[in-house]
Structure 1
Amino acid sequence: MAKYFVGDIQGCYAELARLLDAVRFDPAKDTLWGCGDLIARGPGSLKVLRLFRELGPAGRTVLGNHDLHLMAVAAGLKRSKPKDQLQALLDAPDLADHIHWLRQQPLLKHFRKRAVLLSHAGLPPHWSLTTALQRAQAVSDTLKQDNYLHFIRQMYGEKPDCDTPTLSPLEQQIYTVNALTRMRFLHPDARLDFACKTGPEHSMGLVPWFRYPGHILLQSHRVVFGHWAALEGRCDHPNGRALDTGCCWGGSLTLWRMKDEQYWHQPPLTDIEPN
């Protein structure tokens, strides 16, 4: 019985299927966890979501920024970008079922026995385990409510970029979304930076979140994350596991097995079929 984690799939269905075949994934005993951003940019977003749902309890994910954005696009609150290749998914007769399934997925998953935390983008350096779990759960509870679109309408923007005691409950949830699904670099005062998407070598005075001094949870847990293709799977913190290797940008799709930390990498396939 193995737990596998896959980096940002972003609609790269053919590569995902090849990886699952390579490890002889068995949904009767294995579990597949996505690092978020299951959809967008690649041509197989609809197939990816259908696969995860067909896996039942064996297919789970934490939510990424693209997964949340899909909720807004599906509700007509935002426009779909052509480069996201989402039209087949948006036209699918089971779109509402996919949105409902995504709304049930967490923003953060704690694997207690292995001291592993899974988040799409990472974790703020000042959060304790209790704070991280409570903040993520608050957003999950909101997304499961019938009026979740009220929150989706308000979650966009670059404020708040700092977690302070004066934040309202709504502002706390927006900060949580920004941190767990969008974070890469931090300013020296721990404010989130949303502009820089390069690798750490071009950060211009910013600090990668996993290098921030005194990061609490990285001292006690392995943190598995995606979102940052420019890292190319490299994280120089011994407890960081970066799995976004940019398959949709010409990199590869990466699968990681928790029990023995083995990796599999699948380069892009040229025979990808459209949705």
Structure 2
Amino acid sequence: MAHYAIGDLQGCYAEFTALLNTIQFNPSRDTLWLVGDIVNRGAQSLECLQFCMRHEDSVQIVLGNHDLHLLALLYGQGSLKKNDTLTPILQHANARRMRDWLRNQPLMLHTDTHVLVHAGLLPQWTVTQAQNLANEISYELSSSHAHRFFEKMYGNKPSAWQPELSGIDRLRLITNVLTRMRVLHTDGSLEYRYKETYANIPSNLHAWFDAPNRQHLSHTIVFGHWSALGFMNDKNVLALDTGALWGGELTAVNLHTGERFIQPSFQAKVFE
């Protein structure tokens, strides 16, 4: 039995199935973690979502920002963006069933050794604290009033964590940390605009995992979201978004052995 983790799919179903063939994934024997952003921008978001639903006994996902965007649209909030590829889901006869399945997926999972999250954890959060905060969002998403959350989900404020935050400010900040974070200011607040490479981070910013006194070093944080960062297996983090959508690779790692597997993208290479 093997336990794998795979980076952001974003609708790249052909690469996903090719990678599963490479690792000889057997859903009756193996387990799989997906770092979120199952859907959007790639051509086969519907197929990626249907695969996860079909294999929910062996495939576990956490929600990414694109998955939450899909949920918002399914609740009549937000608007389709120019490069979104979500229409086949939005217009599907089983769209409501997909919505209800997706909104019941977590924003964070953890074992004794690993944490699965889409974007990362704030340095001051322990694993237990982060899981409890993620569960607050899951409660809202799975409740009968989920539509209220999506009405006010979008936004960059507040940008800094305070334990006394309440209401939508608290929920939005937790959601943004878990699904959108890449870099932080020196005061610990989130900077949403930076999406470039690790090497080019300005001196007034730092990657969330380079913050001093991180309180979750007991675990390896498995995440995606930051395609320009690419693969990283260092500093108690395992970064798996290697840009399959942009002509890079789709990456899988065996979490038991550390072995890495890659599937080159079938998409045209996007150059900066």
Coarse TM-score class (shorter-chain normalised):
over 0.9
Which segments of structure 1 move beyond 4 Å, counting only runs of 4 or more?
A: none
Matches within 5 A, 1:92-171: 92-112=92-112, 115-171=113-169
Shift of 1:169: 4.1
Asked if structure 1 preserves the Cα contact closer than 8 Å seen for 2:27 and 2:58, the reply is: yes
**Residue in 2 that maps onto 1:184:** 182
Which letter does structure 2 place at the counterpart of 1:63? Answer: L
Within the alignment, does 1:215 sit opposite 2:220 as a pair? no
CA distance in 1 between counterparts of 2:198 and 2:205 reads 8
Gaps of 5+ in 2: none
CA distance in 1 between counterparts of 2:47 and 2:81 reads 19
**For this pair of structures, how many residues does the alignment match?**
267
CA distance in 2 between counterparts of 1:28 and 1:102 reads 22
Shift of 1:3: 1.5
**Residue in 1 that maps onto 2:69:** 69
**Residue in 1 that maps onto 2:260:** 263
Asked if structure 2 preserves the Cα contact closer than 8 Å seen for 1:12 and 1:248, the reply is: yes
Shift of 1:130: 2.2
Deviations 1:207-239 (Å, cap 9, x if unpaired)?
10010111111x21111000000012135x431
Q: Point out the structure with the larger helix share.
A: 1
Shift of 1:67: 0.3
User: What secondary structure sits across from 1:83 in the alignment?
Assistant: coil
Deviations 1:82-133 (Å, cap 9, x if unpaired)?
3121121221111111111111111010112xx1001100100001122111
Shift of 1:261: 1.1
CA distance in 1 between counterparts of 2:59 and 2:94 reads 18
**Residue in 1 that maps onto 2:84:** 84
Asked if structure 2 preserves the Cα contact closer than 8 Å seen for 1:135 and 1:172, the reply is: no
CA distance in 1 between counterparts of 2:237 and 2:218 reads 11
Deviations 1:56-91 (Å, cap 9, x if unpaired)?
311220000000010111222111123121121221
TM-score of the superposed pair, with normalisation by structure 1: 0.93
Aligned CA distance change for structure 1 residues 164 and 88 (closer, same or farther; 3 Å) = same
Which letter does structure 2 place at the counterpart of 1:9? Answer: L
Which letter does structure 2 place at the counterpart of 1:61? Answer: I
Gaps of 5+ in 1: none
CA distance in 1 between counterparts of 2:91 and 2:47 reads 13
Task: Give percent identity, aligned residues only.
Answer: 40
CA distance in 2 between counterparts of 1:201 and 1:25 reads 34
**Residue in 1 that maps onto 2:227:** 229
Aligned CA distance change for structure 1 residues 165 and 24 (closer, same or farther; 3 Å) = closer
Shift of 1:5: 1.0
User: What secondary structure sits across from 1:265 in the alignment?
Assistant: strand
**Residue in 1 that maps onto 2:250:** 253
User: What secondary structure sits across from 2:232 in the alignment?
Assistant: coil
Q: State the Cα RMSD in Å.
A: 1.4
